[in-house]
Each structure stands twice: as structure tokens, then as C-alpha cells.
Chain A
Amino acid sequence: MSSRRIFARPARFAAITPYVWMVLFFLVPFAFVLKISLSQTAIAQPPYDPVFDLTAGWETLKTALAALSIDNFRLLISDDIYVFAYVRSLTVAVTATALLLLIGYPIAYGMARLPKSWQAVAMVLVIVPFWTSFLIRIYAWINILQHDGLLNQILLTLHLVSQPVVWLSTDSAMYIGIVYSYLPFMILPLYATLAKMEPALEEAAGDLGAPPWQVFWLVTFPLSLPGVGAGVLLCFIPIVGEFVIPDLLAGSNSLMIGQTLWLEFFTNKDWPVASAAAIVLLVVLLAPLLLYERLQKRQLEQGR
């Protein structure tokens, strides 16, 4: 079949432009991050001392390689601020992802049990807030959580508290913000696997005498694990590097790594340290990133 062979070519042809684009603007930049993370900080514009200049030829490259410094990485390990920031980022991400799973699962489960025609509506309803700006959604919560905001007003009128509670600049505010922003990312993959599940399986377990919680725990939950995996990764990875939410909602006494990176870059103008922090963050996230890619590829390339 000669048409099959012609058929094969356009795919390669189609790939060229996006391929070159991604190499140039996604892959190559990491080389620069790596290079600058190994440079010395300098008070200059741009604020780092370039370690090597490829245009100067291989001879200089050799001397330059000797000048590479891992000082920035040493600083990251020795300075408590960074160690704490990484630990905190991971703890926040684990806690928030667990909360998201606990809150998202019942919602996704409810969606999957709706009649078919309602399911589409429910899915749109879950997606729409995702379309409204991240920043706006965080701002909406600042409105509610501020000192004389709606939440405190309600609590006071109901006499649940005697004076306004401080919500802003606390971890609870941050967790509310994270759960609120990432909820659609958790619900959608969960819903996708739950909706595909054969209802007869649950019914059979029930008919054989299993109480509802046992049906859920022994049948529904294990079958939904692929969705759980996708949802967890989809939330966990970006939360580790989250900047906006902790910056606007959490207190400033303990920072997440995204915040320290931002601070080093914009406030201290220490590009090499910021780059080193980015590299470490990337290394921390490498395993979950690879796992996520495999899941994503399997889902998209083998059809749903």
C-alpha cells in the first residue's frame, strides 16, 4: 500500500515546527538555568558573572569548567532557610493533596452517579471555575477571609466566636486557597475513571451481602486507582512549586520554595542562587514528573 507510506510523512512534517519551538523555548532554557546556577553572583546587569562563553572557543571552555562553582548548591544545603523551604513545600503539598483527595473524591463520585445527561452539566460546572483566573479566585478568598470579611461576620452573627478570627496570613487560609484552586484538577481525572466503571460490579458486591462501605473500599476504590494517581500527581507537582497562593494567603514567617526562589530573584537579585534553587526543585520533582508523563502518554496515545 503506497498510500500508507505517504500517509506516514505528514506526521513528521507536522512535528517539525512545534518540535523546534519546544526545544528552543523549553529545553534550551534549562541549560541556561544550569549554567547560571553554577556561576558566581555579581553586582552587575545581568547580576551574575558568566562562567563561560561558548563563543570564545574550546580553550576557554576548559579553563571555565575549572571555574564552575557549586557554591550556590552548597549554600542551599547549608542555609536553614532553604532546607526548611523544601521541607515545608513538600509537607504543604502532601497535606493539600490529601485534603484535595478527601474533598474531591465524594464530589467526583456523586458526579459519576448522576444520570448521563446531568453528568455533562456537572462536568461543565466543575470546569468553569477553572477558566476564571487563578489570581481572581485567590482574591475572592481574601475578600471572604479578611479581618472584617464575610466569614468573620457570619461567625460573629451566629455567636460562634466572640471576636473576629485571624484567617489571613495563616496556614488554614493557604490550604483553603490551594484546595479551592486545585479542586477541578482532582475531580476531573477521578470522575473520568469513576464514570467508566461498570455499575454492575458494585451492585453484585451489594447483592452478595457487602455493606456499602465495604463495597466502596473493596470494589469502587481499587478500580478508581488510575484516576487517583492522575489527580494526585496533577495536584502535587504544581503545589510543591506554588508561589501565588502561599504568598497572598499564608504568613511570611515560613516560606515555600517557590517563594524563596521568587525572593532571591526579584528582591535579592541573586540569579545564581535562584537558578540553583530551581534546579534542586526540578530534581525533587523529577520522579513524580516522569510518573505523570507516563500516565498522560498512556491515556492519550492508547485512546481512552
Chain B
Amino acid sequence: MRKLSRLSRFNIAALTLGLAFLYLPILILVIYSFNASRLVTVWGGWSLRWYHEFFNDRAMIEAAWMSLRVAVSSATIATLLGTLAAVALSRGERFRGRTLFSGMLYAPLVMPEVITGLSLLLLFVALNAERGFWTVTIAHTTLTMCFVAVVVQSRLGSLDRSLEEAAMDLGCDPVRAFLSVTLPLIAPAIVAGWMLAFTLSLDDLVIASFTTGPGSATLPIRIYSEVRLGVKPEINAICTLVIALIAGVIVIASLASKLSSSQGESAAPL
């Protein structure tokens, strides 16, 4: 009970206001996606009209499909590479270029997207690569593997190293010890890393705008060009669907990680 008393009125007010500030705008957006009226401000009763509109909008559907494919493939590659990078970095030993390596991994986390996008585009142009699905996937992989590396690395850091050493003392070779002892223990973090990579890719506008080619717009690029023209109820519907998708992925993944690691504490998503 003493713990509760540490909460002052001020603390409670800050928490309530803060969470309301974070959630109300999204809630309002979702509610208005079910508005029957064309005017965004007039409530015309509940309706699924704008969802119909979206499913009949070929260009939007195509963009959504493109985004999904990019998100799944880039998140998968990024999870592989990011996990490898995290493993390499969390072993304390030095290797040549280690500082450069960790620098390259942490910089994209905060690097303004316009710079990353522009530089990748110039590379693709120089390589004469055809811009579209693959260039966006590569760009997103480059960005998101850094997030995966950080998530996995922080999990590896909190791991008891003696478990792996015990496995090796009992005769496992290092690779096998890693696969059968360490990997299951960091699985929740890997899952969280994949989810983070997936949502970041699904979300990205700037890097995709730079690296995609004509005729292969992603969903954010489409949404962006529509939003510039003003608020449209159809956009509310699309946004609601994206939110639902991401929420679904989070719920499934957290259930999965709960099942796989009932004993360990679950990894923080960030």
C-alpha cells in the first residue's frame, strides 16, 4: 500500500492526460471511419461505406499489396541480419572494424529519413538498378535491421552467458550451443524485432518515396498524396484497417512469445 501512496495527484493527472493525448486522436479517426456522411465533420450514422469504397479502389489495393509484400520480405531479411549483428556485437571480443560496425548500426536509428532515402536512391541510380519492389525492400531492410539489432542485443545483454558456456562444457560446439540454448532464449526478442521491422516498413513514406520507381507506389505514398488534397473518409477507413492489422500482428506475436517463453520475462518491444 505504501507503493500506491507514492503516487501523487500530480502523477495521476500527468498519466491520465498523457495517455488521453496519445489515444484520443487515433480513437476519433477510427470512429469517423464508420461515419456514413461524406462530410467528415457531420455524423451521419454508422456505416461501412468507406470500407466498400476502399475495396473498390484498385490503385489503393495495389499499393496496399505492394506495401504488405515489402513489409514481410524486408522484415524477414532484416530480422536475420539484425539478429546476426546483435550476436556479433554482444560477444565482448574485438574484431576489426567493430567500432565502425556498431556505428553503422546505431546511426540509422536517428538519421533523418530524407538523408537515408536520398543516399540509397543515388546508389540505385549509379548501379542502374530498376526501381520498384526490390529497391524499396533493400532500403527498408537497411533501416529496420538496425532496430532489430538493438532489440535483440538488449535481450542478449540481459542473458546469463553461463548457460551457453555450460552447454559447451558438456560438449556442444559453439554453433550448436547457440542454436539450442541461446536462440530459444532470445526468441521473444527476435519476434518483437520482426514485428517492429514489419510495422516500420509498413509505415515508411520518405524512404519509399525516394527508392521506388514509377508505377509501384506503396500504401503510405498513396495515402500521402490523398491527404495532401484534404481529409477524405476513405482514408480514415484505410488507416483503421492498417491499425487493425498492426494490432493483430502485435496480439498474435505477444501471444506467441508468451507461449514460447513462459518462464522468462517478455522482451520490451523497443
Contacts and interface: CB of A to CB of B under 8 A. Distances in A.
B18 A29 contact: no
Interface string A1-16: 0010011111110110
A34 to B, nearest CB: 9
A265 B205 contact: no
A172 B239 CA distance: 24
Nearest to B210: A265
A56 interface: no
Contacts of B90: 301
Contacts of A238: 110-113
A88 interface: no
Interface string A226-251: 00000001100110111110001000
A217 interface: no
Interface residues of A, number: 101
B122 A21 contact: no
B104 A285 contact: no
A133 B178 contact: no
Contacts of A138: 227
Contacts of A27: 104
Interface residues of B, number: 101
Given A241-B113, A278-B119, A293-B107, A113 B6 contact: yes
Contacts of B21: 180, 183
Contact of A293 (B3, B14, B103, B174): B103
A281 B157 contact: no
Closest 8 CB pairs of A and B: A241-B112, A29-B119, A15-B88, A106-B14, A107-B18, A11-B91, A18-B85, A110-B11
Interface of B: 3-4, 6-8, 10-12, 14-15, 18-19, 21-23, 25-26, 28-29, 32, 39-41, 81-82, 84-85, 87-93, 95, 97, 101-116, 118-120, 122-123, 125-126, 138-139, 141-142, 145, 149-150, 153-154, 157-158, 168-169, 173-175, 178, 195-196, 199, 202-203, 205-206, 209-210, 220, 223-224, 227-228, 231, 235-236, 239, 242-243, 246, 250, 268-270
Given A22-B104, A304-B158, 12 more contacts: A114-B15, A131-B269, A132-B26, A132-B243, A133-B239, A140-B28, A141-B25, A146-B231, A153-B41, A180-B21, A180-B22, A238-B111
Interface of A: 3, 6-12, 14-15, 17-19, 21-23, 25-30, 32-33, 36, 46, 103, 106-107, 109-111, 113-116, 122-144, 146, 148-150, 153, 180, 183-184, 187-188, 199, 233-234, 237-238, 240-244, 248, 258, 261-262, 265-266, 271, 274-275, 278, 281-282, 285, 289, 292-293, 296-297, 300-301, 303-304
